Structure 1
Amino acid sequence: MDDEFAGALAACATIDAVKALFKQRIAVHGYTASACGAFLPTDMGPETHFFFQDWPPDWIELYVRRNFLAADYTVAEARRRIAPFTWLEAKAVRTLSRAEQDIWDTAGEWGWTDGLSVPIHGPGGYFGLVAMAGKERPMPPALRGELHQLAFLTHERCRALTRLAPVINPRAALTHRELECIRWVAAGKTDWEIADLLGVSQTTVRTHIDQARRKFGARTRAQTVARLVLEGLS
């Protein structure tokens, strides 16, 4: 995890500050526009909530006027995926409808020939999404992992600032031992090292870490540690 970015993000007191920090960080990788939001389940269907949009105003107007959201295949793909994916990767495994192809062609006219979408799924049907637009470029695993973490941290900070879809207070939900184990994970310790430090078995350590992960609504240890930092529990 990028501790410097996580620390700077935790210090952001407004959504605008989060947007500016995220924009600056992804720009070095060639991404020129982005959005961060969530689709909340309601009785009337998913309700779209944008934390921020860093698209040109004319593009936003066009996207809304032509109702691109209803036919945006990257959103549809994000609903059924867990891992980050490039828009070209998603395009390669589906036959685009006329409306979907229209979005792709129009985005290309604006100079966006590829992008990266990071799905974020949480308890109760929560579905968040961070999208970055740019030009086609290689996506080695290390870069994909870095952008995944940046997007996840950014989304979580936005959610915390807006108090959207709150979850159980982790400080109250985690046991002392669960919190202790996750803090050691954040410090870079292995399961074996944590077990040795606490005088318990590695199986017990893994159980505590997995329980903490579930309580945070996280899918990986890295996400659990990220939420630990953002909740001020580290």
Structure 2
Amino acid sequence: MLQIEDKHTRESAAFCDAALLAASISELEVKFTDLIRSLGFDDYICTSCMAWAEEKRVRVHSASLAVEALHEYIIADSRYNNPILRKAASQIYPFDWSEAEFLAGLNEMDQSFLSIMDEQGILEGYTIPLHYAGFPVSALTLISSQSTIPSILTWGMKYMISFVVSAFFEAYVRLSGTDQAGENDNSSLIVKKLTPRERECLYWVSKGKTDAETASILNLAESTVHAHVESAKKRMGVHTRIQAVMRAYFLNQIHA
């Protein structure tokens, strides 16, 4: 079992293992929905933003929303008309819709979009950008009909959410058997093999250790650990260390 050392260890580790073993997308979605509802969210929207240059509509992989709300979320034909997807395309770190920095960057049309979401009963959202080499920019948003979500999003919960969302993405790609072109293969998951040191460093990342803590454990310089993690990210074709951990885990390159 993958181990993550915070107060949500059991829930996140159990989901990561369940995602790895899921036999179908429907099974995966049920498990993911059960988990996010146990955290206080209502549902989720997982979108893949396809071919911006050709202005094709956002492709929705998974959603459990009312038709009206879903339509309002994807009605724009490009990320530039949806402030959530625009933000997700421009950064790799998660954000919630009530963050001062996010709200400060909204124009009048963006504010209208959020007002429409409010009218549809979506009062709060927490969005996790998904940037993977070989895939279009994606974003998974956890949504809530309550406006109290920011107050319960502790560091530990945010860390856990990043892990389980990465696991959800990896499992979804594996089960759908599609690459960025929509063909029936997993060519986008073909990555380079990690070195022994890279595997060691990612192992400790999976346990919530910082570069400094990992350096102390492995008797290495902190800068050396950081370099190994950055190298592992490149080999895995991802942009964050958590995504690197989950991809390596799904590819059987690291173990608990």
The question of whether the paired residues in 1 share the 8 Å contact of 2:50 and 2:59 is answered with yes
**Residue type of the alignment partner of 2:218:** I
Within a 5 Å distance, the mapping from 1:1-234 to structure 2 comes to 1=4, 2-41=12-51, 44-45=54-55, 48-61=58-71, 63=73, 67-68=75-76, 70=78, 71-89=81-99, 92-98=103-109, 100-123=110-133, 126-134=136-144, 135-137=146-148, 138=151, 139-162=153-176, 163-165=178-180, 166-167=187-188, 169-170=190-191, 173-178=192-197, 180-182=199-201, 184-185=203-204, 188=207, 190-195=214-219, 206-233=226-253, 234=255
Structure (1 or 2) with the larger CA radius of gyration:
1
Q: What per-residue deviation string (whole Å, max 9, x for no partner) do you get for residues 113-148 of structure 1?
A: 111111111225731110111121213322222222
Which SS does the other structure have where 1:218 is aligned? coil
User: Please, what TM-score do these two structures have when normalized by structure 2?
Assistant: 0.73
| Distance in 1 separating the partners of 2:60 and 2:44 | 11
Q: How far apart, CA to CA, are the structure 1 residues paired with 2:29 and 2:106?
A: 33
Instruction: Please list the CA deviations of residues 123-177 of structure 1 after superposition, one character each: whole Å capped at 9, or x if unmatched.
Output: 257311101111212133222222222222212221222233343523xx11542
Give the gaps of 5 or more residues in structure 2: 5-11, 181-186
Determine if contact 1:39/1:126 at 8 Å carries over to the other structure.
yes
CA shift, 1:184, in A, is: 4.3
Ranges in structure 1 where 5+ consecutive residues have no aligned partner: none
Q: Alpha-carbon deviation of 1:230?
A: 1.8
Answer yes or no: is the 8 Å Cα contact 1:179–1:212 preserved in 2: yes
Q: 1:68 to 1:29 in 2, by over 3 A?
A: farther
Determine the C-alpha separation between the residues in 2 that align with 1:201 and 1:104. 46
* Percent pairwise identity: 16
Q: Give me the whole-angstrom Cα distance separating, in 1, the residues matched to 2:47 and 2:18.
A: 20
Q: What TM-score do you get using the length of structure 1 for normalisation?
A: 0.79
Relative to structure 1, the CA distance from residue 45 to residue 215 in structure 2 (aligned partners, 3 Å threshold; closer, same or farther) is: farther
Q: Deviations over 1:12-45 (max 9, x none)?
A: 1222122111111111232212111322446525
Q: Number of aligned pairs?
A: 225
